[in-house]
Amino acid sequence: MMRAFTALLIAIAMSVAALSVAVDEKPLADPAKEAMARDLMKELRCVVCQNQSIEDSNADIARDLRQIVRERIAMGDTPDNVKAYLVDRYGDYVLLEPPFKKSTYFLWGSPFIFLGLVLYMVLRSRKAPVVPKPLSADEQAELEKILGKREEDK
Amino acid sequence: MIAELGHFATIMALILALLGATVPHVGIARADSRLMTVADNTALGQFLMALIAFGALTYSYLISDFSVYAVAANSHTAKPLLYKIAGVWGNHEGSLLLWVLMLSLFAAALSVKGKKLPQRFRTRVIAVQSALVLGFLLFIVFTSNPFLRLDPAPIEGNGLNPLLQDPGLAFHPPMLYLGYVGLSVAFSFAVAALIEGEVTPLWARWVRPWTLVAWMFLTAGIILGSWWAYYELGWGGWWFWDPVENASFMPWLVATALLHSAIVVEKRDALKSWTILLSIVAFSFSLLGTFLVRSGVITSVHAFANDPARGVFILGFLVVVVGGSLALYAWRAPKLTPGGLFGLVSRESALVLNNVLLSTFAGVVLVGTLYPLFLEAANAGQISVGAPFFEYGAVVLMSPLIVALGFGPLLAWKRGRLPRAATTLLPAAIVALVVGLYVFWQSAGGILMTAFGLVLATWLLASVVLEIAERTQLFKNPSAFLRRVKGLPRASWGMSLAHTGVAVLLFGITISEAWTEEKLLVMEPGDTATVGDYDIRFDGVKPVVGPNFTAIEGYFFASHKTKGAIGTLDPQDRLYTDPVMNTTEASILSLASGDLYAVIGEAAGGGRWSVRLYFKPFVSGLWLGAALMVLGGFLSLSDRRLRIGAPKAKQVKAEA
Amino acid sequence: MQRFVPLVIVLSMFGLFFFMMTDEDRNPNEIKSVIIGKPAPTFSIPGLEPDAPALSSADLKTGQPVFVNFFASWCVPCRAEHESLMALAREHGARVIGIAYKDTPDRALAFLDELGDPFTKTGADLDGRVAIDWGVTGVPETFLVDGSGTVVYRHWGPIVGDGLEAKVLPALEAAK
């Protein structure tokens, strides 16, 4: 049932939505603000799409969110304020860039953590000298036999 | 009838795979040569059966036999022929059968081409490969049978998503699958080597060509997907860090590391542990991708219908295959004799650095893809990890790699001399910095990342050129230059070409991202808009009828400010009938300097239309760079030295 | 020792997958609601009926739990869940408030005429802003607000199948 609902939701969203993104929307009068708004839109996730920002998406709700972004920027909100506004409603999910907080320290640190770990393992295995295993009693006897034979041949 | 034949063939293949996965091991244990040949015979048999099964399924699609459930669910009589065929693998069941077809193809190929391998080892390898085929066949026969019948048969099928009815997308999955499945050969070689308890340079010599083939297909498959997204999805994006995209990128990263690592095993008998591990991990990532698409764990544009029941089965398969092989590795790793020593500055070390950086990046991509899942499981909220994170990872880890790429080929084995390499490469560094500073200054200090990207790309390109010059003694001994050029082995050209491809790719990414110009506007016939140095005149719209859609087509005339007329653009806004879906078809004019890109949207009333226009400079660098990489791989592959297996022991007449 | 590292990592990852996959309630498309535990967002929208009073968040602070259902006449799954809403209102005596999302009042009223009206009060969220304040991503979504005006539960998607029995009713009981 869930599957059908999701598929239908997407189909509805797509069929109802206008196709061209942001085109019938009026850009803000102030070009600097419009640029700020557009940059912000690229950082906000379209909450019903797969992996699209609201800037890229054709979905209806993306268009609503774009309007909200424009309105708030025009009103004087900073991009951070607008992000906070949307996070209040949709959670951190709406940010394409995961926030930097306790629960994401590991995520953001992962390149360095992994690099450090791997380099450590690599360097450690280099330092370990290759020491040949000591011979077992049989092998020792064998060796002596060969050496003894050589002595005889001489 | 045909579907039943296909079903029967599938089951026959399963039986053969079962025999092929078990009997040969018994044969080896008993040193029974006849039992060992079961591996070769069943490999061929499996492939034949898989071919029949796949053929039967394809035939059912071609004749639109809607009594077959899979055909009814995914096809339609109005679909053009190519897409009927592509529809065979455009769904869960069919794509699994494609996996089986390819896995068994590689098993059969191993049997045919591997005659020069020692029999015992070859038998092991094929037996492992057959076990993989077995796993997939079990999955198909018990949970995902494409030959199930529908009674009564519907008159018409459900059609295929119109977004997928596209030539680029028809070829993207098969190529990608060839890549994924090709990595299974390296996997089988690795597992066989672990079972046998030894890895030799000969092993590496065998693994490399197969991995190279898989890598080439994977590269081509990934870039084809990107290219498709670029011209199909309507806003010029080509990579979205979607979980399933990442699932194709991770094996690619690991396969690249594997290719380079195998060189060290072959030349210096070192890095065996690394290479075995990479072989296992590369294919594991392939399997992980298959899992993610079908299990319902993560959402993705690529996901087939979410079905947790099937997901659990695949997970079980993953535990056995990946868990099993890694357990085998943990157990048998001590048996791998450590190899040649090398200095901290040497070609081996450069390749270790290559391994480290590529594997770490693959790990970071994995973490980014799965992190929302971790947090969800820990009830720590819901986040989404998008492009900003992955791009950060790429910059941190891939930048040092690009720098090292310049040095690597110039360092000698065992003990390289850094100062000497640095002196050779100094011109490259200078040129790169000049380019970077120029860009930075030109854009009024705006785009640091762009400058950085261009510095790296220039550095790499210049390094490749300087390395060739060094090798052919162009500057030191110009008269011998041509002779040396002819004497350079193909593998060396392959390397240079592939690395050049990386540079070109990086140029393409950096330039197109930084200097894309976009205009969104409402136009009426006669209006002209300017993007970049081009004037685009809107000439109107006309209705168009396609095989299974109707559309509004806008037509535009593009001309360069000074060079005059360039061409026309005709984007469409399509309405498909079955299923009902609205899509846009962008129109792209590819010029040497970049792409002109037009998308038409809704009518804005009064004969006016909403239009999106772009100029994307040098975006073709992406496609060209990837093509160069694949070509480089092909050149390497064609190098005779790489393809010869164990030379036959020269028969020397014993002294009388 | 480090030879066991890959195995351990991989098995943990598979364990995670298994854990997630066997959770039947989990839908990977669902975005968890972040307003649960917070006071219901303030809003004021016109009523659906021509002369009806405005619908506002004050209507939610009645001392009794109340459901807020976002629906639309153009929404197909909303039809599927309508039965459950009627049952909620009629058989279980729950208060259900309906907000028509991006719908014209005429069409929304026609929808209710056709399928039955389980709502004690209705409102029209013409531009969808109220839905955004509630963190709604699509219709239908249903929220439960307790007597003090705090959001205590959200049902994502239509209330169908055993959703009513298994989730909605228990939530209602807990909120009383």
Please tell me which residue, B440 or B399, carries the higher pLDDT value.
B399
| pLDDT score for A19 | 35
Structure-token match 């951190």, residue found:
A92
**Interchain pair A130, B338: CB under 8 A:** yes
Burial class from Cβ neighbours inside 10 Å (0-12, 13-18, 19+) for residue C53 reads exposed
What average pLDDT does the segment B198-222 reach? 91
Cα–Cα distance for residue pair A61/B338, rounded to 1 Å:
59
CA atoms within 13 A on the CB side of B86: 21
Q: For the sheet containing C141-145, what is the strand order?
A: C121-125, C95-101, C66-71, C141-145, C151-156
**How far, in Å, CA of B314 to CA of B652, rounded?**
54
Instruction: Compute the average pLDDT of residues B586-608.
Output: 86
Q: What is the pLDDT of residue A16?
A: 33
Of all residues in chain B, the percent with pLDDT exceeding 90 is 46
* CA gap A66, B12 in Å, rounded: 57
As a whole number of angstroms, the distance between CA B381 and CA A92 comes to 8
Domain ranges of chain A: 2-97, 102-129
Give the count of beta carbons closer than 10 Å to the beta carbon of residue B107.
31
Strand partners, B523: B609
* CB-facing half-sphere around the CA of B68: CA atoms within 13 A: 28
State the pLDDT at residue B652: 53
Rounded to an integer, the average pLDDT of B118-135 is: 93
C38-55 tens-digit pLDDT = 999 999 999 888 888 899
Among B112, B115, B127, which Cα is nearest to B24's?
B127
Q: What is the pLDDT of residue B200?
A: 84
Q: pLDDT by residue (tens digit) across B68-111?
A: 988 888 888 878 888 888 889 888 899 999 999 999 999 999 99
* First and final C-alpha spacing in chain C: 56
Position B263 pLDDT exceeds 60: yes
Is pLDDT at A13 greater than 60 in this prediction? Answer: no
What pLDDT is attached to residue A63? 86
Statement: residue B605 has pLDDT above 70: yes
pLDDT band at A17 (very low <50, low <70, confident <90, very high): very low
Q: List the Cα angle B55/B60/B66 in 5-degree steps.
A: 160
Confidence of residue B457 (pLDDT cuts 50, 70, 90): very high
Q: Do B374 and C16 touch (CB under 8 A)?
A: yes
Q: Given this model, what pLDDT does residue B445 score?
A: 47
Lowest mean pLDDT segment, chosen from A133-147, B636-650, C61-75 = B636-650
Write out pLDDT tens, residues A76-131.
899 999 999 999 999 999 999 999 998 999 999 999 999 999 888 888 777 665 56
The superfamily CATH assigns to domain A2-97 is Cytochrome C biogenesis protein (1.10.8.640)
Exposure string (b/e) for B44-64, b if CB count within 10 Å is 16 or more?
Answer: bbbbbbbbbbbebbbebbeeb
Distance from CA of B429 to the nearest CA of C (A): 38
Helix (H) or strand (E) holding C141: strand C141-145
Distances (CA, A) of A136 to A139, B110, C34, C136: 5, 40, 68, 74
Q: Which chain C residues are Cβ-neighbours of B308 within 8 angstroms?
A: 21-22, 24
Task: Record the tokens describing residue B50, joined without a space.
Answer: 């898989």
B28: amino acid identity, one letter: I
User: How many whole angstroms separate alpha carbon C98 and alpha carbon C119?
Assistant: 6
In this predicted structure, the answer to whether residue A12 has a pLDDT above a threshold of 80 is no
pLDDT in tens, C13-37: 999 888 888 877 777 778 888 999 9
Whether B385 has its CB under 8 Å from any CB of chain A: the answer is yes
The residues pairing with B459 across neighbouring beta strands, listed in sequence order, are none
Nearest CA in chain A to C35: A89
Yes or no: say if B432 and B458 are a contact pair by the CB < 8 Å rule: yes
Q: What pLDDT score was predicted for residue A127?
A: 66
Q: What pLDDT is recorded for position C98? A: 93
Residue whose tokens read 């705006």: B446
| Whether the complex's predicted ipTM surpasses the cut of 0.90 | no
Mean predicted confidence (pLDDT) in A9-32: 52
How many Å lie between the alpha carbon of A60 and the closest alpha carbon of chain B? 14
Out of 3.60.130.10, 3.40.30.10, 3.40.50.450, 1.10.110.30, select the CATH number for domain C42-175.
3.40.30.10
Q: What is the pLDDT of residues A130-143, one digit of tens each?
A: 566 677 778 888 88
pLDDT band at B633 (very low <50, low <70, confident <90, very high): very high
Examine the pLDDT at A10 and tell me if it is beyond 70. no
pLDDT at res. B348: 86
Output the DSSP codes for B15-77.
HHHHHHHHHHHHHHHTT-HHHHHHHHHHHHHHHHHHHHHHHHHHHHHHTT-TTBHHHHHH--T
- Residue B357 to chain A, least CA–CA distance (Å): 7
Indicate if the pLDDT at residue B334 is higher than 60.
Answer: yes
Of the two residues C3 and B402, the one the predictor is more confident about is: B402
- pLDDT mean across residues, chain B: 88
* pLDDT at residue B305 in the model: 62
- For residues B421 and B460, the answer to whether their CB atoms sit within 8 Å is no
For chain C, domain boundaries:
42-175
Q: Which helix (H) or strand (E) holds B600?
A: strand B594-605
Residue A53 phi, psi (nearest 5): -85, 170
Q: Is B244 on the interface with A (CB under 8 A)?
A: no
Classified as helix, coil or strand, B10 is helix
Q: What is the pLDDT of residues B285-296, one digit of tens each?
A: 999 988 888 887
Using CA atoms of B439, B444, B449, B455 in order, give the dihedral in degrees to the nearest 10: 20
User: Smallest Cβ distance to C77: which of A8, A87, A88?
Assistant: A8
In whole angstroms, give the CA distance from residue B650 to residue B620.
51
Which of B143-157, C20-34, C91-105, C161-175: highest mean pLDDT? Answer: C91-105
What integer pLDDT is reported at residue B471 of this predicted model?
84
3-state secondary structure (DSSP) of residue B596 = strand
Rounded Cα distance, B523 and B537, in Å: 9
Per residue in C130-160, pLDDT (tens digit) is: 999 999 998 899 999 988 889 999 999 899 8
CA dist., res. B284 & res. C11, Å (int): 12
Write the CB contacts of C12 (distance below 8 Å, at least 6 apart in sequence). Answer: none
Structure confidence at residue A22 as a pLDDT band (50, 70, 90): very low
Q: Note the pLDDT tens digit of each residue in A64-75.
A: 999 999 999 999
d(CA B276, CA B329): 8
Residue of chain B whose Cα is closest to the Cα of C22: B308
pLDDT of residue A31: 81
Q: What is the pLDDT of residue B646?
A: 45
Does C31 contact A8 at a Cβ distance shorter than 8 Å?
Answer: no
Per the CB < 8 A criterion, the answer to whether C73 and C100 are in contact is: yes
Phi, psi dihedrals of residue B492, rounded to the nearest 5°: -65, -40
Cα angle, residue A14 at apex, residues A12 and A15 outer, rounded to 5°? 65
User: Residue B308 pLDDT > 80, yes or no?
Assistant: no
User: What is the distance in angstroms between the Cα of B246 and the nearest Cα belonging to chain A?
Assistant: 12
Cα→Cα distances B576→B67, B304, B545, C86, Å? 24, 21, 10, 37
Q: Is the pLDDT of residue C86 over 50?
A: yes
Pick the most confident of B45-49, B465-469, B600-604.
Answer: B45-49
**What are A74-85's pLDDT values in tens digits?**
998 999 999 999
